[in-house]
Amino acid sequence: MPYDLREIAAISGMSGLYRLVRPAHNGVLVETLDAQGRRSVASARNKVSLLHEISIYTQDPEQTVPLTEVFDRIYQKYGQELPVTHKSDEAALSQFMGEVVPEYDRQRVYLSDIKKLVSWYGAVSSRLTYQSAEAAAGNEAAVQAEENDPTTNTLSTAGAVPDQSEAADDAAENPEAGGSKATRSRKKSEE
């Protein structure tokens, strides 16, 4: 994954791309992917589309090309400077797309999609560093190892919900914290 797109998102109702910072009380805290890096909260009502989950349709209905691979193809062919912009004419944009993803489905990939791809690539390439395939493979392996590690808690409850070992310790120390109904009712009858 040459560009790490796991934390980059497009958000409905908000123009541009955003880096996800952390969950917030009423949505998610995001930072613009531009020079200013302004932070704001994307409401829970907004649809958040992570770029690493987006793919381009191909002529084979069973096959798509992930956006990370498309960005890699663009970088390999053009580097950071594209020959087109999102304001280029339809013929130039279609030719660009045909050079990058020759197998793209011309019926399901619209001109607006190509314009969005070009503008997204410009935003990503200006703010993120391109990683070589070896470095990307190393980072991907580290992420997979962390995801598969049972000691790593990827979803945090910020201590609001203790894990099972903490709950058992609390129950042993505090008779009112745990135990069955029968134990609690027996304790009430003893009082």
pLDDT average, residue stretch 48-71: 93
Statement to judge: residues 44 and 59 lie in one domain: no
Domain count, the chain: 2
Statement to judge: residues 29 and 69 lie in one domain: no
Give the CATH number of the domain where residue 42 resides. Answer: 2.30.30
* Structure-token pair, residue 172: 């042993």
Give the CATH number of the domain where residue 107 resides. Answer: 1.10.10.1650
Q: Rounded to an integer, what is the distance from CA 39 to the centroid of its chain?
A: 17
Statement to judge: residues 127 and 71 lie in one domain: yes
Does residue 145 form part of some domain?
no
User: Measuring CA to CA, how many Å separate 64 from each of 57, 70, 101, 108?
Assistant: 5, 10, 10, 11
Does residue 164 form part of some domain?
no
Taking only the tens place, the pLDDT of each residue in 82-137 is 999 899 999 999 999 999 999 999 999 999 999 999 999 998 888 887 776 555 55
Does residue 176 form part of some domain?
no
Does residue 190 form part of some domain?
no
Mapped onto helix, strand or coil, the DSSP state of residue 54 is coil
Q: What is the pLDDT of residue 74?
A: 93
Q: Which residue has the higher pLDDT, 166 or 72?
A: 72
Question: Residue 39: which H helix or E strand, with range?
Answer: strand 39-43
Q: Which residue has the tokens 């990503």?
A: 124
Statement to judge: residues 44 and 108 lie in one domain: no
Q: Which residue has the higher pLDDT, 2 or 40?
A: 40
Structural domain including 111 reads 55-139
Quick check: 19 and 30 in contact, CB under 8 A?
yes
Statement to judge: residues 63 and 127 lie in one domain: yes
Statement to judge: residues 131 and 68 lie in one domain: yes
Per-residue pLDDT at 147 exceeds 60: no
State the Cα–Cα distance between residues 70 and 151, nearest whole angstrom.
34
Against a cut of 0.75, is the pTM above it?
A: no
Statement to judge: residues 37 and 105 lie in one domain: no
Statement to judge: residues 91 and 36 lie in one domain: no
Statement to judge: residues 59 and 101 lie in one domain: yes
Statement to judge: residues 62 and 135 lie in one domain: yes
Q: Going by DSSP bridges, is the β-strand pair 8-11/48-50 parallel, antiparallel, or unpaired?
A: antiparallel
Statement to judge: residues 39 and 60 lie in one domain: no
State the Cα–Cα distance between residues 57 and 66, nearest whole angstrom.
9
At residue 162 the predicted structure's pLDDT band, cuts being 50, 70 and 90, is: very low
